[in-house]
């Protein structure tokens, strides 16, 4: 018995938790090429890594912009490395939907109780990972808010009739009708993961492998007119980026969920920036240790619809 669709839904949920993650094609110098901001690296020894990218762009004036793809639940070492890198920026633009008036940076124990925040907390506990808000200092002097305020976000969502459940339903409906290569999780593999002494590592491994085709899974979230949760927030980030460049900042980081990055990259290139390089950071380390059980998840082709008989 196979749970292909269930695995796809699970990957989509974690994608939502992890900042609406999208994978894409590898970065290239030519115009129009899309960079990759998240990838699963199989070590072929029963483990692997989930990695996020920092992709650098430069314009003719010598301004550099780093698009820093984030996952919102990850290992403490990942956030420690990010904190160290953040100190090098003249301005670090960050995502966070918060009240317009008196919207202070988040601190521990003041986290939102929304469905998505609750889901993130559950995933943090089940996967034995850390939550981003607990490890990033949003009060750092070079941090600049680059997102919609809560009131604007809610107004725009109400105007579009958009909410998290509608977005997830849109993705699931599209997934049901899209034949493709998939990483299928069988019931046996899932049970082994749940019953394994290193359950968290196995669950992360199963989910991370499903991220291989996450771009297709997540594309349906946007719809033909875009979405508030991605498109409109990206527009807000670019407006702040414009102001930051106008203020004379030369080294700028834009720290957003990985799913935002393909659209942000397109907008940055339209501003005259060109691709320079990509650096990869390990967000989830799923390396097998001595004595760990090994689960092998094979790539299988989803059944193709039969051609109509003529």
CA pair distance 283, 262, nearest whole angstrom: 19
Tell me which H or E stretch contains 91: strand 91-94
Q: Which residue bears the tokens 């004036």? A: 61
Picking from 39, 93, 97, the residue whose alpha carbon sits closest to that of residue 68 is 93
Strands 299-301 and 130-131: unpaired
Q: What angle do CA 29, 32, 36 make, to 5 degrees?
A: 70
Residues 6+ apart with CB under 8 A from 92: 86, 140, 142, 143, 144, 252, 253, 255
Six-digit token pair at 288?
Answer: 């097998």
Spans of all domains in the chain: 4-284
| Chain centroid to CA 93 | 16
Residue 162 near residue 227 (C-beta atoms within 8 A) = yes
CA pair distance 147, 161, nearest whole angstrom: 20
CA pair distance 50, 80, nearest whole angstrom: 16
CA pair distance 176, 173, nearest whole angstrom: 5
Cα-based distances in Å from 134 to 76, 100, 108, 118, 278:
9, 22, 6, 15, 26
Cα-based distances in Å from 113 to 4, 118, 173:
31, 6, 27
Cα-based distances in Å from 259 to 52, 143, 193, 263:
11, 21, 27, 8
Specify which residues 49 forms β-bridges with.
Answer: 41, 285
Q: What angle do CA 186, 192, 197 make, to 5 degrees?
A: 155
What's the confidence (pLDDT) of residue 23? Answer: 35
Strands 91-94 and 64-70: unpaired
Strands 64-70 and 48-58: antiparallel
| pLDDT values of the chain reduced to their tens digit, one per residue, 310 residues | 333 444 444 444 444 444 443 333 334 444 456 788 989 999 888 889 999 999 999 999 999 999 999 888 899 999 999 999 999 999 999 999 988 765 555 544 444 445 566 666 777 778 888 989 899 999 999 999 999 999 998 898 888 777 665 555 555 555 555 555 445 555 566 666 666 667 788 788 888 877 655 555 555 565 666 788 888 999 999 999 999 999 999 999 999 988 889 899 999 999 999 999 999 999 999 998 765 555 554 544 444 434 333 3
CA pair distance 264, 7, nearest whole angstrom: 28
Residue 80 near residue 135 (C-beta atoms within 8 A) = yes
């Amino acid at each position: 018995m196979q749970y292909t669709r269930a695995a796809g839904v699970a990957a989509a949920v974690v994608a939502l938790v992890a900042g609406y993650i999208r994978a894409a094609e590898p970065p290239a110098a030519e115009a129009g090429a899309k960079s990759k901001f998240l990838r699963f690296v199989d070590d072929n020894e029963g483990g692997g890594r989930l990695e996020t990218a920092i992709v650098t762009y430069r314009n003719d004036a010598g301004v550099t912009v780093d698009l820093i793809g984030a996952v919102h639940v990850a290992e403490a070492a990942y956030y420690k490395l990010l904190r160290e890198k953040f100190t090098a920026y003249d301005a670090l633009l960050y995502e966070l939907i918060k009240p317009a008036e008196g919207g202070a940076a988040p601190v521990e124990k003041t986290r939102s109780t929304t469905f998505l925040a609750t889901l993130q907390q559950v995933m943090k506990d089940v996967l034995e990972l850390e939550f981003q808000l607990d490890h990033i200092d949003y009060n750092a002097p070079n941090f600049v808010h680059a997102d919609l305020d809560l009131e604007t976000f809610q107004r725009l969502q109400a105007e579009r009739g958009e909410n998290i459940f509608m977005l997830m339903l849109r993705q699931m409906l599209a997934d049901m009708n899209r034949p493709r290569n998939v990483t299928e999780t069988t019931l046996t593999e899932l049970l082994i993961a749940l019953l394994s002494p290193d359950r968290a590592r196995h669950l992360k491994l199963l989910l991370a492998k499903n991220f291989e085709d996450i771009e297709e899974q997540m594309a349906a979230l946007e719809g033909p007119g875009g979405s508030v949760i991605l498109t409109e927030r990206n527009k807000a980030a670019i407006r702040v980026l414009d102001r930051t460049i106008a203020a004379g900042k030369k080294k700028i980081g834009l720290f957003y969920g990985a799913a935002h990055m393909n659209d942000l990259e397109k907008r940055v290139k339209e501003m005259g920036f060109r691709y320079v390089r990509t650096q990869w950071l390990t967000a989830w380390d799923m390396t097998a240790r001595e004595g760990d059980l090994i689960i092998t998840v094979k790539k299988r082709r989803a059944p193709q619809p039969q051609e109509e008989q003529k």
